[in-house]
Amino acid sequence: MQAGRRVWSVGGVASRVQSLWSRAYATAPKPKQVKIKEPKLLPYQQTRKELSDRKSHLFSKYQRILRENELVILFQSENLSVSLLEKVRKQMHSVPFPDEDKARLDSIEHGQWTLPPIALDVARTGLLRPICRADPAACVQGLQPYLSGQVALLSTRVLSPEYIGKVLRAMERPVKSARDAIDSSSGKKAPSLLPVAAIVERSRLVDASGIPALTKLPSLPVLQSQLVGLLSMPGQQIAGILSQASGGDLAATLDARRRDLEKLQDAA
């Protein structure tokens, strides 16, 4: 070792460099962790993101109404109180359901149907619109222009035209009484419950002008008996012709025809 000078070995240099690097790393400022704040959703945004339990229940209910009933009538309603709506339902359920349609309803449900054959539900257009838009049936999609304001759905599992006509007339009675009871000078708005469209067997959309004609159609059992009668008529006529051919009527007819031809030849 020379005087006044410090000699570093290779190992000492490496150790010195390692020590300096460790102290520099320990004293270096640590990077700050930036916290990303998630955007706060307002109450109306949260309801748009997912349906509540109540809305999910109604969404499924409206889907079943449109898919499982042979007839669904859409009503536009205004100023219907709860008590008036109960009176409408009471009048509606007072109409007797035909026995032949009750038997058909039991056969469809594979057992005795214990619930009322018809139902009236006040519906939310905000839930009905996406249901109608996504439904594969074109007639259900056609309900969208009518979905505004306050609406109600009248649904029945089996289509019985005469029964529906009686139900519609029964529903109108309490509404008419409540409308007539309002003094015109009071400024109160009269209640109304008007049918605007109907879906028939998920195959046809009928507007308000066609609903009265729909209620005058014969029931399904009557149509079936008429169809059987039409199909049996040609068979009866053929059977009558064959019965005549088996006797002497055919021979007499042919002999008369032969004589007529002979007279024509003689005259010529």
Q: Summarize pLDDT for 18-52 with one digit per residue, the tens.
A: 554 455 444 545 445 545 455 555 554 454 556 78
In the DSSP assignment, the letter for residue 202 is T
Is 207 domain-assigned?
Answer: yes
| Domain of residue 94, residue span | 71-222
Is 137 domain-assigned?
Answer: yes
Secondary structure (3-state) at 83: helix
Task: Work out the average pLDDT over 236-263.
Answer: 61
Q: At 208, which CATH number?
A: 3.30.70.1730
**pLDDT over 70 at 221, yes or no:** no
Please, which pLDDT band fits residue 101 given cuts at 50, 70 and 90? confident
Query: Whose CA is closest to 177, among 94, 97, 83, 96?
Result: 83
Query: What token pair was written down for 60?
Result: 């499924």
Query: Whose CA is closest to 190, among 203, 176, 200?
Result: 176
Query: What token pair was written down for 204?
Result: 């046809």
Residues in Cβ contact with 156 at an 8 Å cutoff, skipping those fewer than 6 apart: 69, 70, 71, 117, 118, 119, 163, 164
Please, which pLDDT band fits residue 263 given cuts at 50, 70 and 90? confident
Is 215 domain-assigned?
Answer: yes
What's the CA gap between 65 and 52, in Å, rounded?
20
Is 262 domain-assigned?
Answer: no
What's the CA gap between 162 and 153, in Å, rounded?
19
Question: CA torsion, points 193, 195, 196, 201, in degrees to nearest 10?
Answer: 140
With 0-12 CB in 10 A as exposed, 13-18 as middle and 19+ as buried, what is 217? middle
Q: Which residue has the higher pLDDT, 185 or 24?
A: 185
Give the per-residue pLDDT at 35.
Answer: 52
Please, which pLDDT band fits residue 240 given cuts at 50, 70 and 90? low
Count of positions (residues) in the chain: 268
Is 96 domain-assigned?
Answer: yes
Task: Work out the average pLDDT over 164-187.
Answer: 90
Secondary structure (3-state) at 23: helix
Is the distance from CB of 199 to CB of 131 less than 8 angstroms?
no
Q: How many domains does the structure of the chain reveal? A: 1
Is 15 domain-assigned?
Answer: no
Q: Residue 192: count other Cβ atoms within 10 Å of its Cβ.
A: 16
255 dihedral zone (left: phi>0; alpha: psi -120 to 50; beta): alpha
Is 268 domain-assigned?
Answer: no
Is 128 domain-assigned?
Answer: yes
Is the distance from CB of 205 to CB of 142 less than 8 angstroms?
yes
Query: Whose CA is closest to 84, among 197, 172, 147?
Result: 172
